[in-house]
Structure 1
Amino acid sequence: MDGPPVRDHGTADPGAPTRMAPAGTIKRQRPPEALDAPVTAVDDVYLIGHFGIAQVPPDTWRLRVDGRVARPLELDLDGLRAMSSTTVTAVLECYGNPLRPREPTRRAGNVVWRGTPVSAVLDRAGAEGELLWARGHDSGVFDGRPCTEYLKDLPLAVVRERGVLAYEMNGEPLTAEHGFPVRLFVPGYFGTNNVKWLRSLTVADRRAEHLFTTELYQRPSATGALRPVRDLDVNSLVTAVRRDGRTLHVAGWAWGSSEVVGVEVGVLGDDEAWVPAELGRPAGSRYAWRRFGATVPAAGVRRVRARARDAAGARQPLTGDRNACHVVDVESGNAT
């Protein structure tokens, strides 16, 4: 494909920087019991801002589409919203702290996303390439390292197939905290890939060398080589434990990039036993979470935990990794 060469977006465009208010890494997380609804309220969706919250005026916002394209584009918000739209209900999950990648965080929510299919924009631009570089308006310092922009590179085919240029969550415009006016959302991918405060999409044939592409958010493959964090792990969260006489009713949600096909509830007392849970239908698309529930004897039970498995054969580890089983202390209600 002839077209403009791929530009290295290691530095931000010239001009006044976007205001970060507040600036600095910001986190917010609700407890598991607040996530019991099929669709997570926006105020209950976790928040991670590596550099803080970008304040982007909607009237001056533009999305640039360039790189390996026949027709470079620049769209304003009205122009993007005038294009075809799609709605998908899917999980948004934080991978966790990239400096401690094996530490569980339990940050997830199931959200109704509405926006323009990325494919519509790529088709209009005449895009051909292997990768899509997505850049955000946010900038700042993370782990003591200055960064002029947030950047992720993603497989073009995957983003073309299911990516959304989202401007609504649960039927309302995105909040500033969640990426207003537009963020990239790719169902089945970890939140780190779903770039907030989106400013440009560049079609490329090579990976971008950047703090958030080839250094952070990596994990070793079977050969030991690092690979970028993309597909959701199989995971589950206990959101309700209710005592009813001699029984406990345990419920929660399970999800992953591959279909969840089973959940077991573990009962921990003097001994440990596993009980198969009943599975509901996904609360939305194939990338939404699924309800699970089980009734177990209450006598002698001190803790319960859930363990999901998916159609690809993956199963949650009991301990020691970011998607390790969620454990709830029955008496205190504390979770680990």
Structure 2
Amino acid sequence: MIRTDPETPDLFLTPVEDVFIRNHLGPHPRLDPATWSLTVEGLVERPLRLDFPTLRGLPHRRFTAVHECFGNPLHPTVPTRAVTNVEWAGVPLAAVLELAGPRPEARHVWLEGADTGDFAGESGLSYLKDLPLDQASAEVVLAHTMNGEPLHPDHGYPVRAVAPLMFGTNSVKWLSRIVLAADRPDHLFTTRLYTRVLPGESETRPVREKDVSSKLLTPVDGRTVPAGSCELAGYAWSSTEVTSVEIAVDDADWRPAALDRRGPDPAWQRFRLRHDLAPGPHRIRCRATDSAGRVQPLSGDRNAVHEIHVVAESGGRPSEV
């Protein structure tokens, strides 16, 4: 079952039951924390096998971050809008790597999950992602808690990697193995899928840092609303801070919306704009810009501007959610 994010913009944290579920290989593993272990191997001075109590006993951090699905890797330019905002808690990867002692020739971290299966014509796969060692050490957390609760089985219980500035494909669920290596692995989910050429570039790069994006949640797409003053609101996010959001109604010019600051965590940012809706149908769009100067494209890519359609009625009541 695939869940989508809630349609209530006042929920800064997405309830666990509304966090989307995505996986390529199935069925989902059902792991017993009493027998689960995490191995750290490859180019390390001290190979490790950590059980769950040992990992839980290491220093941990708690933070809130946007969790976004990149989309179907076979159709990488198609928008999915699957995005949530979650509070995680877990052990920084750097603390585990310090115990293992990376060797000088180590350049990459391989993260492997316990899920196995077939995908895109290849069989016998495990889910594997890789990240540069320096970046992984600085950013990745081995999370065991989600919104204050133990991870649910469908979200990677007992432990998953979380790369908070990156798309969800890099946050490996059911984490079972970490390998330090000199090179990237040649694998379906590392070098053959989840790659793209960014605008203005010519070289293919792996899908990692989030794009700048935004999503309208109020009013709800396809609903009837009272004509007159209406709050247009939603959330914006990026791998860096979003600095502005604009909203356009029908064919009118883009107008700046009020935007919350991001704060110390890479969480999403709420935006809002009051607008008088005349009776009749309306198209409403939102467009975000981030501190790197990236702007959502109008069309043609996975983070193209989001638009909704509503009907405003004089003296009417909003249709039920």
- TM-score norm. by structure 1 comes to 0.86
What is residue 330 of structure 1 aligned with on the other side? 310
> Alignment partner for residue 215 of structure 2, among 224, 233, 237?
237
CA distance in 2, matches of 1:169, 1:265: 32
Q: Could you give the per-residue CA deviations for residues 200-245 of structure 1, whole angstroms, max 9, x where no partner exists?
A: 1111110100000000111024443321000000011111128565
CA distance in 1, matches of 2:131, 2:208: 8
What is residue 37 of structure 1 aligned with on the other side? 11
> Alignment partner for residue 295 of structure 1, among 271, 274, 287?
274
User: Residue 35 and residue 154 in structure 1: after superposition, are their counterparts in 2 closer, same or farther (change >3 A)?
Assistant: farther
Code of the aligned partner of 2:50: L
What is residue 320 of structure 1 aligned with on the other side? 300
> Alignment partner for residue 154 of structure 1, among 114, 131, 155?
131
Code of the aligned partner of 1:302: H
Q: Could you give the per-residue CA deviations for residues 51-79 of structure 1, whole angstroms, max 9, x where no partner exists?
A: 13111111111100111111111100000
Flag as ranges the 4+ runs of structure 1 deviating above 4 A. 242-245
State the secondary structure of the residue aligned to 1:83.
coil
Q: Could you give the per-residue CA deviations for residues 275-327 of structure 1, whole angstroms, max 9, x where no partner exists?
A: 10001133x64311001001122126611111000000000011111001111
User: Residue 34 and residue 142 in structure 1: after superposition, are their counterparts in 2 closer, same or farther (change >3 A)?
Assistant: farther
State the shift of 1:148 in Å.
2.7
What is residue 247 of structure 2 aligned with on the other side? 265
Q: Gapped runs of 5+ residues in structure 1?
A: 1-26
Q: Percent same amino acid at aligned positions?
A: 46
1:308 aligns with 2:284: no
Q: Does the CA contact (< 8 Å) of 1:35 and 1:44 recur in 2?
A: no
Q: Gapped runs of 5+ residues in structure 2?
A: 313-317
State the secondary structure of the residue aligned to 2:129.
strand
What is residue 20 of structure 2 aligned with on the other side? 46
State the secondary structure of the residue aligned to 2:215.
strand
What is residue 279 of structure 1 aligned with on the other side? 259
Q: Does the CA contact (< 8 Å) of 1:36 and 1:240 recur in 2?
A: no
What is residue 315 of structure 2 aligned with on the other side? none
> Alignment partner for residue 135 of structure 1, among 95, 107, 112?
112
What is residue 72 of structure 1 aligned with on the other side? 47
What is residue 118 of structure 1 aligned with on the other side? 93
What is residue 35 of structure 2 aligned with on the other side? 60
Task: Kindly tell me the number of residue pairs found equivalent between the two proteins.
Answer: 305
Q: Does the CA contact (< 8 Å) of 2:6 and 2:18 recur in 1?
A: no
Q: Does the CA contact (< 8 Å) of 1:267 and 1:301 recur in 2?
A: no
CA distance in 1, matches of 2:32, 2:201: 46
CA distance in 1, matches of 2:6, 2:192: 31
Map residues 128-207 of structure 1 onto 2, 5 A cutoff. 128=103, 129-207=106-184
Map residues 241-256 of structure 1 onto 2, 5 A cutoff. 241=219, 243=225, 245-256=227-238
Q: Does the CA contact (< 8 Å) of 1:275 and 1:296 recur in 2?
A: no
CA distance in 2, matches of 1:198, 1:35: 32
Q: Does the CA contact (< 8 Å) of 1:35 and 1:109 recur in 2?
A: no
CA distance in 2, matches of 1:123, 1:31: 36
CA distance in 2, matches of 1:285, 1:141: 39
State the shift of 1:32 in Å.
5.5
User: Residue 177 and residue 285 in structure 1: after superposition, are their counterparts in 2 closer, same or farther (change >3 A)?
Assistant: farther
- TM-score norm. by structure 2 comes to 0.90
CA distance in 2, matches of 1:315, 1:29: 28
User: Residue 194 and residue 272 in structure 1: after superposition, are their counterparts in 2 closer, same or farther (change >3 A)?
Assistant: same
